[in-house]
Amino acid sequence: MNSKLKDIHMDALFEGILSLGSVEECYNFFEDLCTITELRAMAQRFQVAKMLDEGQIYSDIVRETGASTATISRVNKCLVYGTDGYRTVLDRTKEG
């Protein structure tokens, strides 16, 4: 965990997110909290993470998502060297 990030306000935000009970509640909360651009960027990064996890190559990811190679590289770095945040969600949401 990034100790520079952790504080009582972040804890309250994450506890609030954990209290949401449906996708619709998530839409409502995140549309109030974030700009459309911020939400689309987060969704794009998650899509990139899923595609990298599936073994897809950068050129295919760029073509399908519109993400820059810098974004893809950063997401890949998080998958390999990060705090396993992506890994946790990817594993829990895998279709199977």
Contact criterion met (CB below 8 Å) for 17 and 28: no
Confidence of residue 4 (pLDDT cuts 50, 70, 90): confident
Contact criterion met (CB below 8 Å) for 13 and 30: no
Tens-digit pLDDT profile for residues 9-68: 999 999 999 999 999 999 999 999 999 999 999 999 999 999 999 999 999 999 999 999
Residue whose entry in the numeric block shows the structure tokens 């279709």: 95
Q: What is the value of pTM for the model shown?
A: 0.90
Q: Give the C-alpha distances (Å, rounded to integers) separating 43 from 7, 56, 59.
A: 25, 17, 19
